């Protein structure tokens, strides 16, 4: 498994509200197990065809490989996180899988097929979004797209609403073995100001959406790039959480899709 730098910022400056009181990292970077690893912590098993828009992404680079999630937004486009595509040379896309190792079909595409946001900044997790151009995927009950938010909802904060996250991230902070079944959990969107108390305002900008993680329910390794959906609409892309673990009760953060509707349309032609 590729080893990644953890985003550590000075605790001494945290009182200013700009820098984090808790160090943060991408779910993709948590594991030390050299394999596709896990699931959402303390979530539920998905049933067949429950999340037809969910894909698994197995990235490869000269230094290793890693697993992320993604969302189908068109039959030739997948949306994921920039920290997932960053540094990779190719990806195998798993479509229609409830059991991770049993997809309906897979496509392998090179890095030339993806569009990583030109202004992605890993240190502050800015613009953590990428598009992957794929061969045309045949839609069915198990493989289908998820809707993007309407332009009219650009200023929606979604605070207080319950959204669903899905993916194959680790089952717990202690997990060292892989689990194959797609997981999901319901998470409540919180005010960004609450999230800033943990991660700082340099990291939690208006282009980030955060959720509470009560009862050790959160996104964990392997969920990076995966969807946060509300009423069948994609509102977030799994981005980062607390370095200290998925179960410590710190907020989980997502790229706010409404902040990138123009970027998505410009680069893929897709809109709500």
Q: Residue 239 region, left (φ>0) first, then alpha (ψ -120 to 50), else beta?
A: alpha
Q: What residues are labeled active site?
A: 83, 128, 224
Q: Residue 195 region, left (φ>0) first, then alpha (ψ -120 to 50), else beta?
A: alpha
If residue 84 lies in a helix (H) or strand (E), which one and from where to where?
helix 82-85
d(CA 190, CA 30): 24
d(CA 121, CA 97): 31
d(CA 42, CA 244): 17
d(CA 91, CA 133): 11
Using the Cα atoms of residue 17, residue 203, residue 38 and residue 264 in order, give the sign of their dihedral: positive
214: helix, coil or strand?
helix
User: Could you tell me if 36 and 168 are in contact, meaning their C-beta atoms sit under 8 angstroms apart?
Assistant: yes
| CA angle (261 as vertex; 255, 266 as ends), nearest 5 | 120
Identify the DSSP state of 121. B
d(CA 241, CA 17): 17
């Amino acid at each position: 498994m590729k080893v990644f730098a953890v985003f550590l910022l000075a605790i001494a400056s945290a009182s200013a509200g700009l820098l984090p009181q808790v160090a943060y990292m991408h779910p993709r970077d948590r594991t030390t197990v050299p394999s596709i690893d896990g699931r959402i912590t303390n979530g539920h098993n998905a049933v067949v065809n429950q999340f037809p828009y969910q894909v698994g992404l197995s990235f490869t680079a000269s230094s290793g490989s890693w697993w992320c999630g993604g969302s189908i937004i068109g039959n030739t486009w997948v949306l994921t996180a920039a920290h997932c595509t960053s540094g990779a040379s190719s990806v195998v896309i798993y479509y229609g899988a409830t059991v991770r190792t049993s997809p309906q079909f897979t496509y392998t595409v090179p890095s030339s097929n993806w569009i990583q946001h030109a202004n992605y900044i890993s240190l502050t997790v800015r613009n953590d979004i990428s598009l992957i151009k794929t061969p045309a995927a045949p839609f069915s009950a198990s493989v289908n797209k998820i809707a993007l938010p309407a332009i009219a909802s650009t200023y929606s904060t979604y605070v207080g609403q319950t959204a669903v996250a899905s993916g194959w991230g680790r089952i717990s902070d202690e997990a060292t073995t892989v689990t194959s079944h797609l997981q999901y959990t319901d998470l409540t969107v919180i005010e960004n100001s609450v999230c800033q108390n943990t991660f700082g305002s340099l990291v939690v900008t208006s282009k980030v959406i955060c959720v509470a993680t009560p009862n050790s329910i959160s996104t964990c390794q392997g969920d990076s790039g995966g969807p946060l959906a509300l009423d069948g609409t994609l509102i977030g892309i799994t981005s980062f959480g607390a370095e200290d673990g998925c179960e410590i009760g710190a907020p989980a953060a997502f790229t706010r899709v409404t902040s990138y509707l123009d970027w998505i349309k410009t680069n893929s032609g897709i809109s709500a």
